[in-house]
Structure 1
């Protein structure tokens, strides 16, 4: 029997409290966290303990940062990308963040980082979509040779797909952090935020899936003509939203 175990993460941006509770439950069963792993955590066999875990964000954390947690009774367990850190402490240890101001500080940097990536990628996706639509329209009415569609399509289509993936992958956490900050400000539970996000993802995934099937059937019976790139983009949205929906509790 192996002394280590891999546990997949559901996404800390969408369910941080649930993730930490899950790790606490494993610790009570004799499996304690010892490091991050690809899209999850690595646990090792140990004596069962009643532990609580806390996730914090700090870029280029120094000794003073870790000392602050240690003095408060929290032990540093592991870090990822020198920005995300997990600490553990006995069940009765006082939380580090106890008021709305300090809780907000924890998420502000993550929100700003996600926003800094999401906004440019979304703008790039919109611009590329407009350019591709214009090119297709011009070629359709013979204003430009069709060869231009193939030439620019080699550049625009991969760019559309990449920027769409980046926008969705960073945009959803950005929305999650933003709504979490608002919930903290209003004094509401973050669990409500995650349920709302789960509902949004389920709705988007359902709409995109129905749209793909509908367009396929309409195209099959020659009611409308849809380019393959249209199916790919909508299908990609459906796949990503369905995948993310399974990760959000």
Structure 2
């Protein structure tokens, strides 16, 4: 019988509450979190406990930081790098954050940090995408095509792994500041989000029509639509 197990995270950026509730559910079954794993959590077998978990963000925290939570009834469990920290407490313990303003500050630092990476990576993705397209159609010597594609692939990966969390943190901050009232959200954000949804559906629809030969669509059209989608993603990620 194994005394440890690994469970996958649903995503701390977009499904933090779901992850914390999942860990509480495991604790009630006798599986207690003891450290982060790769894209998930490592649990060890113990007596069933009524625990709740909470995630907090602080870069390079000092002893006073952990002492503050300890005095509030929260025990330190583990950290992911030097940024994300999980604490546990018995059921009924007062939450770490009791108002929306302080909780939004929790995500603001992560949002600003992710944004600093998301902006240049998104711009690089667009640049390499355009250069690779120009090379493909002969506007730039074909010899450079492989170079542009080689840079484009890691750029896309970095963009995906920074823009999505950035959007998630922004959404949380915006929701907390408006007390969950979606009608009060930034108008530009709602417009960009609606346009992105429409453009994505249009892009998928045209691709399927072209794939099954119901409609002939020039490659340039797909490139333009992809370019617009990237710009919309950036606007959603960066708008305040």
Gaps of 5+ in 2: 183-189, 230-240
SS in structure 1 of the partner of residue 111 of structure 2 = helix
Q: Structure 1's 210 and 22: CA in aligned 2 closer, same or farther, altered over 3 A?
A: same
Shift of 1:5: 1.0
- Taking structure 1 as the reference length, what is the TM-score of the superposition? 0.76
Shift of 1:136: 3.5
Matches within 5 A, 1:13-162: 13-137=13-137, 139=138, 148-149=141-142, 151-162=143-154
Q: Structure 1's 186 and 78: CA in aligned 2 closer, same or farther, altered over 3 A?
A: same
CA distance in 1 between counterparts of 2:91 and 2:202 reads 43
Shift of 1:215: 3.7
CA distance in 2 between counterparts of 1:202 and 1:26 reads 36
Task: Indicate if the aligned counterparts of 2:53 and 2:89 stay in contact, CA closer than 8 A.
Answer: yes
1:193-216 deviations in Å (ceiling 9; x for gaps): xxx9xxx99998876655554443
Partner of 1:4: 4
- Taking structure 2 as the reference length, what is the TM-score of the superposition? 0.78
Shift of 1:217: 3.5
Shift of 1:155: 1.1
**Equivalent of 1:177 in 143, 151, 169:** 169
Task: Indicate if the aligned counterparts of 1:215 and 1:226 stay in contact, CA closer than 8 A.
Answer: no
Shift of 1:100: 1.5
1:108-159 deviations in Å (ceiling 9; x for gaps): 111011111111011111122222333344x27xxx6xxx21x211111122
CA distance in 2 between counterparts of 1:210 and 1:225 reads 14
Partner of 2:237: none
Give the stretch that moved more between structures: 62-71 or 181-190.
Answer: 181-190
Give the stretch that moved more between structures: 208-217 or 81-90.
Answer: 208-217
CA distance in 1 between counterparts of 2:13 and 2:197 reads 17
CA distance in 2 between counterparts of 1:189 and 1:6 reads 37
Task: Indicate if the aligned counterparts of 1:33 and 1:41 stay in contact, CA closer than 8 A.
Answer: yes
Partner of 1:193: none
Task: Indicate if the aligned counterparts of 2:111 and 2:170 stay in contact, CA closer than 8 A.
Answer: yes
